[in-house]
Amino acid sequence: MKKVLSLLSMLVLTPSASLLLAEPAPAAPAASSSPLIEQAEAARKEADALGYEWRDTAKILDSAREALQRGDQAESDKLASKALFQARAGKAQGLYMAKNWKMMIPKN
């Protein structure tokens, strides 16, 4: 009787055990980009085209993509916003300097 019971319990337990041990259902594939990242990248290209991209912008944008890959949307958006800010500021700087650089020449 004991043997039968133990055998039965094994049969019952094993599928549950296998459920416990089984991998979780595969998550949806992590997004590689977001609208904010796309916007920041477009802005970065504009600053670059003027020759006024800042040093860290691309790196910050890469970090935004990495955060998104790990599923951290909030962090990704924060970093993408920072990259967008830098790209816009660089572009504005470039447009201003194209017009006003001669003002920077010191008067003797």
**Angle formed by the axes of helices 57-69 and 73-100, to 10°?**
160
CB of 63 to other proteins, least distance (A): 15
CB of 26 to other proteins, least distance (A): 39
CB of 66 to other proteins, least distance (A): 20
Provide the binding-site residues for other proteins, judged by CB under 8 A. Answer: 48, 51-58, 82, 85-86, 89, 93-94, 97-98, 100-106, 108
Conformational region of residue 63, where left means phi above 0, alpha means psi within -120 to 50, and beta covers everything else: alpha
